[in-house]
Structure 1
Amino acid sequence: MGRYPIDPPVVLAPMAGITNVAFRQLCREYGAGLYVCEMITTVALVERNPKTRRMIAFAAGERPRSLQLYGVDPAITRKAVEIIVSEDLADHVDLNFGCPVPKVTRKGGGSALPWRRRLFAKIVRGAVEAAAPAGVPVTVKMRKGIDDDHLTYVDAGLIAQDAGVAAVALHGRTAAQRYSGTADWDAIADLKQRLDVPVLGNGDIWEADDALRMLDHTGADGVVVGRGCLGRPWLFADLAAAFRNDPTRVMPSLGQVAATMRRHAELLIQAFQSERDACTDFRKHVAWYLKGFPVGADLRRRLAMISSQIELDDLLAQLDPDEPFPAHTLGQPRGRTNSPGKVFLPEGWLASRDDDAVPEGAELPDSGG
C-alpha cells in the first residue's frame, strides 16, 4: 500500500461504531494486516470537531495508521488531507465511496458519488495531490454502483487509477442491495482485469477459506474483511494461517471466547478512559461473541446491559468454559443482513454524469457514520 507492505494482504474494513482503537488492537493481537479506523468526515476534521479528534486515535506501535475519510466537497477533502499530512495524523488515507445508508446517499455521498464522475475525479485527485508531499498513500473503497442500471465501478476505478491512488477496494454489491444477497465476485474479477494498481475484494468473507476462494476466483491482490470478524477477532489468525497455506483454524471454547470478551472490554476502558462508556460500547458486541453458543436468554440480556467490569467478570464466570465452539455457525452471515431498498439521491442526481457541482448541504458534520 504505497510504501507499506501489507502481509498478509488483509484489510479490516472501517465500520462505524466498531473499528475504534480498542477493536483494532484486539484484532491485531490475532494477526497482521491493515486495520482502518472508523469513518471520519472531512468537514468535522477541518472544523476540528472534538469528538472527531478523539476518534483519530491509534495504539502505540499501530503502523501503518489507517484513516478513512468521507467527503463530498473537493476543496474540503483536500484541506482535510492537508491537515492529516501536516499534523501527522495518519500514514494512509482511504476515501469512502461505498456507504449505502440514506443519510449519506441523499446528499450525494458514499456509493452515490461515483455516478458524478467529474466530481469524483476532483475529490480523488485533490486528496492524492495533498497527500503526495509526505508520501501518504491514498486508496478508494467503493461499491459496484447505485443499482444494476447505474453501475459505476469500472469508470470509477479507472478515474481513481489515473488520479494516482495506491489501490482500489470493491465491495461486490450495489447501494440498492445494501447488505442483502450475495456479493458479485465477478465484478471484482472484471475490475482487476482493467486496472494496473492493486485491487482488493470485499464482500461475503465469513471464513478464511472464503478469502482464498475470492482471490482464486477474482485474481485480486487482497481482501477487505468487514462483518465476518464481528464477535470473532480471531478470524485474523485464521486469515494469517490461510495465507501461509496452514490449514489450522481457531475454534475457541466458550471459556476462550469469554477471555477474549474480557480483553475487549479492558481495551475499551483504556481507550475511553471511562468504565461506563466502555461498557456501553461493549454491549453491542455481546450477541456476536455468543452467536451459536447455548447461553440462556437471561444471561445474554444481562451481559448486554453491563455497566462495569466487575459486573462483566461476574457474568462471564457463569458461562460454561468447556462448551465447544458451535461449528454450525461457520460461514453464516454476521452483522447487518437487510433487504434491498431504494437508494435516496439528491434531486436530479442521475440527470448528468458530468455535473461536478457539490450538492447543497452535502457535508456531514459528525464522524463515524
Structure 2
Amino acid sequence: MLAPMAGITNTAFRRLCREYGAGLYVSEMITSRALVERTPASLRLIKHHESETPRSIQLYGVDPKTVSEAVRFLVDQDLADHIDLNFGCPVPKVTRKGGGSALPWKSDLFRAIVEGAVRSAGDIPLTVKMRKGIDEDHLTYLDAARAAEGAGVAAIALHGRTANQFYSGQADWSSIATLKETITSVPVLGNGDIWSADDAIRMVRETGCDGVVVGRGCLGRPWLFGDLAAAFRAEAGEITAEEAAASIAQPPLGFVMDAMRRHTELLVEFYDDDEPHACRDIRKHVAWYFKGYGVGGDTRRALAAVESLEQMDEIFATMDASLPYPGEGAEGQRGRAGSPKRVVLPDRWLESRTSENIDYADLADAERDDSGG
C-alpha cells in the first residue's frame, strides 16, 4: 500500500508506481470539510485516471458528521473503491486543534468518527491509519484499534512511531506485532522504515502483519513496488527466491532518468498540459531520484531548476546513462527524518480521554482546507 504523502501521491505518482508494480495506491490526504464544501482543490485531488483501479482516497476530519458526509459523497458519486481515514498527522497546526494523531486520545470522538464513516461507506471498504499515540506516556493505538475493529473497518494500519517522534529514530515494529496479536478479525498493516523489499519481508516475518504501507521509501524509487511484488510472490512460493532476486531493481542511471522523465510526462497530463507547472513539481524529486549516483552538483542544480521537458532532455544528454547502480549509497532512508518534538495540543487536552468539554468550533479549525498533513 502506498502511503498518502502531501504533494507527492497525486495521480501522476500513483500511476507511475502502478506501472512498475502491484498494490493499493492511495490519494493525497483530502480534508473532509473541503470535500463536503466541494472546493475546487479537493475535487481535483480526488480525481483518478481511468487506469487506476481500485480507486483509493484518504480522508482527514475531526467532526463525525462532516466525515460521514464526505464519505457519503464519495460513495454516492461513485468516486472511490476504498476509503482510508487518517489519524496519524503529527503537524502542529493540526494537533494544536486536537486533530490528526492527537484525536484518538479522545476515544469517544474517535469511535464516533469511525462508526459514522463505516455506516456511510456501506459496501465500500473503509480502513484507518494511525500512530502509536501522542508520546510514549500517552499511547492510544490499542484502544483505537479495538474501537475501529468493533466499528467494522476493513483493515487497520499502524505507523510504529508516536506523534512526538515525527519521522525520527527507528519505527517500533514491536508495536505492530502487539497490534496484530490484539486485533484478530481484520488485517493489520505495518508502516515505518520500509526502504527495500527485504525490509518489507522482514517486517511481515517479525510482526506477523498482513501487509505493508510504504511512504518515504518509494520517494525517487517508484519501482520499489515492483521489488515488493516480486519479494512477496517468492514468499508465497509463486516464484523462487532466485527469480525474485533477479527482479529486484538495481538500476543504472539511464533507468532512473527514464523514470524521472516519465514522472514528469504524467505530471504534465495531471496539470492539464501545463508543462512549466509539472517541471516545477518534479524539481523536489531530483535529490530522491539520484540519491547515491555520481551525478555532479552542477547537474543536480540544473535539474532542480528545470523548466521544460526539452531542457530536461538536454541535461540528460550530458549524463552517462550507463553509470551503474551505486549500491549502498542509493539505499536506506529517504526524505527528512527530523528530530523528536513536543506535540502541541489544545489546553488541558490530556486531562481526560473523553470529548465532553471540547469546543467543537475550535476543533473544527483543525480541518481547514490549508491544514495539510
**Shorter-normalised TM range:** over 0.9
TM-superposition CA deviations, 1:76-133 (whole Å, max 9, x none): 101111111111111111000011111111111111110000000000001000011x
- Corresponding residue for residue 6 of structure 1: none
- Superposed CA RMSD: 1.1
Residue 368 of structure 1 deviates from its aligned partner by 5.0
Task: Give the ranges of 4+ consecutive aligned residues of structure 1 lying more than 2 Å apart after TM superposition.
Answer: 356-359, 366-369
Residue 319 of structure 1 deviates from its aligned partner by 1.2
Q: Are residue 255 (structure 1) and residue 254 (structure 2) matched? A: yes
Residue 52 of structure 1 deviates from its aligned partner by 1.1
Residue 329 of structure 1 deviates from its aligned partner by 2.6
Counting matched residue pairs gives: 357
Q: Are residue 363 (structure 1) and residue 364 (structure 2) matched? A: no
- Corresponding residue for residue 212 of structure 1: 201
- Corresponding residue for residue 306 of structure 2: 306
Residue 247 of structure 1 deviates from its aligned partner by 2.0
- Corresponding residue for residue 194 of structure 1: 182
CA distance in 2, matches of 1:219, 1:165: 19
Q: Which amino acid aligns with 1:16?
A: A
- Corresponding residue for residue 3 of structure 1: none
Q: Which amino acid aligns with 1:351?
A: E
- Corresponding residue for residue 333 of structure 2: 333
Query: Please, what TM-score do these two structures have when normalized by structure 2?
Result: 0.94
Residue 331 of structure 1 deviates from its aligned partner by 3.9
Q: 1:55 to 1:368 in 2, by over 3 A?
A: farther
SS in 2 for 1:104: helix
Q: Which amino acid aligns with 2:285?
A: H
SS in 2 for 1:350: helix
Residue 48 of structure 1 deviates from its aligned partner by 0.6
Query: Please, what TM-score do these two structures have when normalized by structure 1?
Result: 0.95
- Corresponding residue for residue 267 of structure 1: 266
SS in 1 for 2:350: coil
CA distance in 1, matches of 2:345, 2:361: 10
- Corresponding residue for residue 128 of structure 1: 118
CA distance in 1, matches of 2:154, 2:220: 30
**Conserved? CA contact 1:116–1:354, under 8 Å:** yes
TM-superposition CA deviations, 1:149-170 (whole Å, max 9, x none): 0000000000000011000000
Equivalent residues in 2 for 1:104-143, closer than 5 Å: 104-132=94-122, 135-143=123-131
- Larger displacement relative to structure 2 (85-94 or 322-331): 322-331
Residue 59 of structure 1 deviates from its aligned partner by 1.5
Gaps of 5+ in 1: 1-10
Q: Which amino acid aligns with 1:234?
A: W
Equivalent residues in 2 for 1:1-369, closer than 5 Å: 11-132=1-122, 135-196=123-184, 197-245=186-234, 246-248=244-246, 249-273=248-272, 274-356=274-356, 357=358, 358=360, 360=362, 361-366=365-370, 368-369=372-373
SS in 1 for 2:310: helix
Q: 1:367 to 1:92 in 2, by over 3 A?
A: farther
Gaps of 5+ in 2: 235-243
CA distance in 1, matches of 2:329, 2:124: 40
Residue 330 of structure 1 deviates from its aligned partner by 4.8
CA distance in 1, matches of 2:353, 2:310: 56
**Conserved? CA contact 1:139–1:165, under 8 Å:** yes
Query: Percent sequence identity over matched residues?
Result: 62
TM-superposition CA deviations, 1:15-40 (whole Å, max 9, x none): 00000000000000011100001000
**Conserved? CA contact 2:293–2:330, under 8 Å:** no
CA distance in 2, matches of 1:212, 1:269: 35
Residue 61 of structure 1 deviates from its aligned partner by 2.5
CA distance in 2, matches of 1:331, 1:100: 26
CA distance in 1, matches of 2:269, 2:72: 30
Residue 362 of structure 1 deviates from its aligned partner by 2.9
